[in-house]
Amino acid sequence: MTENDQGSVPSRQRKRFPGISSRAYEHPADRSALVALRKLSGFDTAFKALSGLLPERSLRLLYLSDSVRVSDAQFSHLNDMLRDACYILDLEKVPPMYVVQDPKPNAMCIGMDEPIIVLTTGLVELLDEEEMRAVVGHEVGHALSGHSVYRTVLLFLTGLALKVAWIPLGTVAITAIVTGLREWFRKSELSADRAGLLVGQDVRASMRGLMKIAGGNHLHEMNVDAFLAQADEYEKAGDLRDSVLKILNVLPRSHPFTTVRAAELKKWSESRDFQRIMDGHYPKRAEDKDTSVTDSFRESAGHYADTVRTSKDPLLKLVGDIAGGAGDLAGDLGGRLRHRFGGGQKADGGPAGDGKGTEGPAGDGPAGGGSGRESGDGAGDGQREG
C-alpha cells in the first residue's frame, strides 16, 4: 500500500492482517464458488470483457455527477474508516466511496474493473462510528473477495429479466441464473459480515448495526440478546408449511434476513476459526493459486451436511431424520449381508459366534447374533457424520 493510499492508521489499537486471503473469512459455500471461478483460466478476462455490455461506465459517471465522493474534504470520518479498513485487511488500493441521498439504509460494492463502494445517507445517519466501521469493513471485504464483479452482473441480469418478461419463456433462463446468483450472493453477505468484524473487532457493534438496520434508530428500545433470540425462534418455529414459506420469502432477496445474519456472525465470532485469525494464523493471498477446488467443495458440502444435521428448522430436521434413517437402514443391511456371505466368520478371521449375542468373541464382530445390528448402527452413524 502506498503512502497516499494508506493514509492514517486505526484510531484505536486493532490487529492487522498482512497478506490475508479472503478465504480466511469467506463462508464455505461462497469460498468454494470463488475458488472454482479463480481456477478457470481466462474466466476473469472473459467476464470483464462483458463490461462493454454492462452499465458500469454509466454507474461511475452517475455517482460522480449525482452523489458525494468521500475524501479528506468530504465525509472525512468515513474516509478515515475506509483507509483503516484497507489497512487492516491489507487491501493495496483504496476503492472510491460515494454517499448517495437515499433514506433507506443500504451499502453496496459494485464494479467490473475496479470496485466502487456506495453508502446511502439513511445508513450514514443511522449508525454510530463503531457500527459504521463494521459496515465499511463489510464492503472492503466484498472488494477483497472480488464480489463486486458478480454483484454488477446480478444487477444487470435482474434488470434484463424485467425487460424481457414479455417474451414467452424469454425470462425463464435469466430468472434461473438470477436465482442461483442470489443464493450465492446471500452467502457472500455472510462472508462480508465476517470481514466487517475483522475490521471493527467489536462483535457487539456489528450486532447493533444489524439490529438498527432491522428496527431503526431506537437503540434504547432494543436489546441485542433479544434480537438474537428472534433468530433462534425464526429457525425452529412452525411446521413444514412455515419452512416452505421461509424458502419462498428469501428467494427474491439478495441479502439474508438481519436476524439470521446476526446469529451467523455471533456463531462465527465464537468459533476456533475466528480465534485463529485473531491470533495471526490465517491463509495468505500468495497461496490462493495453490488452493484445491476439490477441498473447497468438500468443505462446502460438509458445511451444508452439518447445517442439515444441527438445524432446528422443521423441514431440515425432517431431511436429516430421513437421511439418518436411510443411513441406519443401509448399515443394518450391510451388517446382514456381511453375516450372510461372510461365512460366519469375524472380520479378523477368528471363529464365529454362537449367534446368541451373549458373551465371548462373537459379540465383537458382525457375525455374532445381535451384533449385526450394532455394526449396522455404527455404519449408519458414520454415514450421518460424514
Cell of 21: 486471503
pTM over 0.75: no
Using CA atoms, how far apart are residues 191 and 60, in angstroms rounded to an integer?
25
Are residues 381 and 286 located together in one domain of the fold?
Answer: no
Dihedral (C-alpha) 313, 249, 258, 32: value to the nearest 10 degrees? 70
Residue in this structure with the C-alpha cell 478371521, named with its chain if needed: 349
- 271, 291, 311 - which closes a domain: 291
Residue in this structure with the C-alpha cell 423441514, named with its chain if needed: 315
In a domain, 75, yes or no: yes
Are residues 54 and 193 located together in one domain of the fold?
Answer: yes
Among 154, 150, 155, 157, which Cα is nearest to 172's?
157
- 241, 276, 291 - which closes a domain: 291
Are residues 127 and 273 located together in one domain of the fold?
Answer: yes
Q: How many CB atoms lie within 10 A of CB 42?
A: 8
Are residues 90 and 174 located together in one domain of the fold?
Answer: yes
Q: Where are the alpha helices (DSSP H) in 164-250?
A: 170-200, 203-215, 224-236, 240-250
Domain that holds residue 371: 326-385
In a domain, 318, yes or no: no
3-state class of 99 per DSSP?
strand
Domain count of the fold of the chain = 2
Q: Which of 26, 131, 139, 264 is catalytic?
A: 139
pLDDT tens by residue, the chain, 386 residues: 443 444 444 456 899 999 999 999 988 877 665 555 555 455 555 555 555 555 667 778 889 999 999 999 999 999 999 999 999 999 989 999 999 999 999 999 987 668 899 999 999 999 999 999 999 999 999 999 887 766 666 666 666 555 555 555 455 555 666 666 667 778 889 999 999 999 999 999 999 999 999 999 999 999 999 999 998 888 876 666 766 776 777 776 767 889 999 999 999 999 999 999 999 999 999 887 766 556 555 665 555 455 545 555 554 454 455 545 444 445 554 565 555 555 544 444 444 444 444 344 344 444 444 444 333 344 334 443 44
pLDDT tens digit string along 210-245? 999 999 999 999 999 999 999 888 887 666 676 677
Could you give the strand order of the β-sheet that contains 107-110, starting from the edge strand earlier in sequence? 68-69, 97-100, 116-120, 107-110
Using CA atoms, how far apart are residues 149 and 184, in angstroms rounded to an integer?
13
- 268, 291, 314 - which closes a domain: 291
In a domain, 308, yes or no: no
Are residues 364 and 215 located together in one domain of the fold?
Answer: no
pLDDT tens digit string along 125-162? 999 999 999 999 999 999 998 877 666 666 666 665 55
Contact 263, 225 (CB under 8 A): no
Per the annotation, the verdict on 139 as an active-site residue is: yes
Are residues 284 and 342 located together in one domain of the fold?
Answer: no
Are residues 193 and 331 located together in one domain of the fold?
Answer: no
In a domain, 117, yes or no: yes
